[in-house]
Amino acid sequence: MIMIIIFLMVITTLNFIIASLITLINKKSICDSQKSSPFECGFNPMTYKRLPFSIHFFLIAVIFLIFDIEIIIILPMILTLKSSQLSNWLMTSTIFILILILGLYHEWINGMLNWTK
């Protein structure tokens, strides 16, 4: 039992010595302020966080995402045509496309599709 305790103490001491040597010899111990600061897409992260943001760009991005999701939902409709009843498929797809057209009309009326403001 004493041999195991002595063996564990020797291993712990060796681990401590090796870890201390690694931290002393480490090249990266010299800190560079530019390298230690976070990199955020080329912008300085220490500037004012609330810079003005183009709401028009945001609306266009949201509309793009909505139409992407609509396409993802419409594409499987073609595959389900073979395995479903024609009347149920036609009613479901007509209602869905009607909702899409009404949403597009609403965006058009509110001027969200004007690209040059």
Spell out the domain ranges in the chain.
55-109
pLDDT, residue 67, reads 81
Determine the pLDDT at residue 94: 92
Residue 63 has pLDDT above 60, yes or no: yes
What percent of the chain shows pLDDT beyond 70? 74
pLDDT tens digits for range 5-58: 999 999 999 999 999 988 888 766 566 666 666 665 655 556 666 667 677 777
Residue 84 has pLDDT above 90, yes or no: no
Which range has the top average pLDDT, 28-32, 57-61, 76-80? 76-80
Section 48-70 average pLDDT: 77
Greater pLDDT, 97 or 35: 97
Residues 6+ apart with CB under 8 A from 39: 45
Cβ neighbours around 92 below 10 Å, total? 13
Length of the chain as a residue count:
117
Nearest to 97 by CA among 109, 105, 108, 87: 105
Tokens representing residue 55 in the block:
């709401």
Q: Establish how many alpha carbons lie within 13 A of residue 44's alpha carbon, considering only the half-sphere containing its beta carbon.
A: 5
**Cβ atoms of residues 65 and 59 within 8 Å:** no
- pLDDT value of residue 26: 76
